[in-house]
Amino acid sequence: MELDFGPAVRDFRDELRDWLAEHLVGEFAEHKGVGGPTDGAAWEVRLAWDRELSAGNWLGVGWPKEYGGRGLGLVEEIVFEYEYARANAPYRATCGALDLLGPMLLAMGSEEQKKRFLPPILAVEELWGQGFSEPGAGSDLASVRTRAELDGEEWVIDGQKVWMSFGDHADWLYVLARTDPDSQRHKGLTMLLVPTDQPGVDIRPIRNLAGQDEFAEVFLSGARTSADLVVGEVGGGWRTAMTTLGIERGTTLLPLQLGYEREADALIELARERGALDDPMLRRRILDAWISVRIMRTTNMRTVAELIAGRTPGAQATTAKLYASTRHQQLGHLAMELAGPAGQIVGEDYGLDTRQRSFLLSLAETIYGGSSEIQRNIIGEQVLGLPKDPRP
């Protein structure tokens, strides 16, 4: 099954294919398939690869030209993601800013903010961290306690953020903070852009279960940012945050899931080597793994086709994350089982191979971007119209 968008897009696709064939070589080619939204492996190489992409003007394909993008449409963006995934290029180190902050600014930022912040994202000059979660506010994001107060021309911010992906690389943070001290829940929150290069910001890496420093906690004590670096309205931060989460739960999963197909193929290869295809129980699970990655792809295609046709995507756009994250974990378990005892041995300094890393990191997919339980609430309430969970 292939997407075909006609001759104009085919030219774009061919140009991209050629460019990737020419540039995805040497060290970059050695790092094919490396990384993911929670995987900091080969960071420096991937950053260099992002700069290579930037030099080729391939970042921000759908962003307006005035901010450094290509000014093309949704179709080209989607084609880019598919071709990129097909080439198995390294997962973009700057994905956070490209996939979340950028679209958030494009949707809700002021003209000055777009001019100031978008070009450096595309030039891979400034890296960003997402400061939503707190020790006391994860799934229940409306209980954010980090405070920000206006002091003349600046916001002064105090609080703690946690689980920030690639936080220790961030030059800037976008922080959801409470700007009205008397406010409750989702009222009185504001989205602030905060530079990390200042004494009030203390970023400490947190080691994840794979042994990597991939996320971080951030202590904000008297951190300062300019009064005009509010995205959306003062007090309207909830709406801004939800816009971002809508983006996170939607398109960013698309290329990732195409990578799972590769894992499924590798799994079948491994099973063949091990003679496991003759075991009826394993065989069944292997086929189910193949079936689920194929279903993920078709589900993506449905959503993409609807987006391109200008239709509101159906329920599958909401169920896709729950399905994909759950099935990907099963695939990881199966791969580890097929690897057998040898799969339990790691390299020096807890060095993990692709399979081990992919398995361990898949455990995050049912947590970040809204846990599976929260996804089920969203599906139940927003898609099926069931009564809401009790809320304070």
Partner 1 sequence: MDLTFSEEQDELRKVVRAFLARHSDEAAVRRLAADPHGLDTVVWRRMATELGLQGLAIPEEYGGSGFGYVDLGIVFEEAGRALLCAPYFATVALAAEALLRCDDERARADLLPGITSGATVATLALTEENGRWDETGIGLTAGDDNRLTGVKTYVPDGHLADLFLVAARTASGISLFAVEADAPGLTRTLLPTLDQTRKQARVEFRDTPARLLGTEGTAWPALRRTLATASVLLAAEQVGGAAAALDTAVSYARIRVQYGRPIGSFQGVKHKCADMLTEIESARSAAYGGLWALDAGDETQTAIAAALAQAFCSEAFTKVAGDSIQVHGGIGFTWEHPAHLYLKRAKSSEVLLGTPAYHRELLAARLGI
Ligand X SMILES: Cc1cc2nc3c(=O)[nH]c(=O)nc-3n(C[C@H](O)[C@H](O)[C@H](O)COP(=O)(O)OP(=O)(O)OC[C@H]3O[C@@H](n4cnc5c(N)ncnc54)[C@H](O)[C@@H]3O)c2cc1C
Nearer to partner 1, 222 or 314 (CB): 314
Nearer to partner 1, 199 or 280 (CB): 280
* Alpha-carbon gap, residue 87 to 256, rounded angstroms: 13
- Reduced to 3 states, what is the DSSP secondary structure of residue 164? strand
Q: Which two tokens stand for residue 346?
A: 């790691």
**CB of 269 within 8 A of CB of 289?**
no
Catalytic residue list: 248
Segment near partner 1 (CB under 8 A), from 30-38, 53-61, 288-296, 351-359? 288-296
Which residue in the set 112, 125, 337, 381 belongs to the binding site for partner 1 (CB under 8 A)? 381
Parallel, antiparallel, or unpaired: how do β-strands 128-131 and 172-178 relate? parallel
Segment near partner 1 (CB under 8 A), from 35-43, 243-251, 355-363, 377-385? 377-385
Residue list 355-374, contact with partner 1 (CB under 8 A): 373
Half-sphere exposure of 144 (CA within 13 A, CB side): 29
DSSP state letters, 68-117: TS----HHHHHHHHHHHHHHTPPPPTTHHIIIIIHHHHHHH--HHHHHHH
- Residue 391 binds partner 1 (CB under 8 A): no
CA dist 213 to 8, 203, 220, 260, 371, Å? 43, 12, 20, 24, 21
Nearer to ligand X, 349 or 389 (CB): 389
Q: Which of ligand X, partner 1, none binds 379 (CB below 5-8 Å, type-dependent)?
A: partner 1
* Alpha-carbon gap, residue 25 to 14, rounded angstroms: 18
Segment near partner 1 (CB under 8 A), from 17-25, 53-61, 92-100, 299-307? 299-307
- Residue 320 binds partner 1 (CB under 8 A): yes
| Count of residues that bind partner 1 according to CB under 8 A | 48
Half-sphere exposure of 125 (CA within 13 A, CB side): 9
Q: Which residues bind partner 1 (CB under 8 A)?
A: 1, 3-4, 268, 272, 277, 283-284, 286-288, 290-292, 294-295, 298-299, 301-302, 304-306, 308-309, 311, 314-316, 319-320, 322-323, 373, 375-377, 379-381, 383-390
